[in-house]
Copies of this chain bind each other. A is one copy, B any other.
Amino acid sequence: MPKQTVELTEAEWTIIKTVWEHEPCAAPTIQEKLHRQTEWTYSTVRTLMDRMVAKGLLTAEKIRNLTLYQSAVTRQQAQRGELLYALKNAFNGALTPMLQCLLETGDLSSEELTELESLIKQKKMTRKR
């Protein structure tokens, strides 16, 4: 069964996003891809990734001299985890205020707002089945 509640640190987010884009991939690859953004050395990336394996966020398979990594949680799961964390701590589990705050926070274009409306309509449909 998949991890119930996925929680990632900021550095882990950085890593896993790159893994999702390149998996299966080796640590040096990730290091290169991130180098511009983070300046992390190979050691840093490697340590992070191995810790993530220990936590069940990634899987590693060793082939000869190369360790190939893959994500063990999906983007969806991770995103959901992040949202649930915020929901629980910042909003005491109340979804509507959270959505409200998010709407206020953002610069949404009218198109995006319209898109949201249809998402909500859709959601309404599904709900009352």
Q: How far is the CA of A112 from the CA of B103 in the complex (A)?
A: 15
Q: Is A127 within 8 A of B110, CB to CB?
A: yes
Q: Is A86 an interface residue (CB 8 A)?
A: yes
Identical copies in the complex: 2
What distance in Å separates the Cβ of A113 from its nearest Cβ neighbour in chain B?
A: 5
What distance in Å separates the Cβ of A77 from its nearest Cβ neighbour in chain B?
A: 11
Give the one of A83, A101, A103, A117 with max B CB within 10 A.
A83
Q: How far is the CA of A62 from the CA of B87 in the complex (A)?
A: 34
CB-nearest residue of chain B relative to A109?
B127
Selected contact of A99 from candidates B17, B84, B85, B116, CB within 8 Å: B116
Q: Is A91 an interface residue (CB 8 A)?
A: yes
Give the one of A13, A89, A108 with max B CB within 10 A.
A89
What distance in Å separates the Cβ of A99 from its nearest Cβ neighbour in chain B?
A: 6
Q: Is B83 within 8 A of A90, CB to CB?
A: yes
Which residues of chain A from 94 to 129 have a CB within 8 Å of any chain B CB? Answer: 95-96, 98-103, 105-110, 112-117, 119-121, 123-124, 127-128
Q: Is B127 within 8 A of A100, CB to CB?
A: no
What distance in Å separates the Cβ of A29 from its nearest Cβ neighbour in chain B?
A: 20
Q: Is A96 within 8 A of B123, CB to CB?
A: no
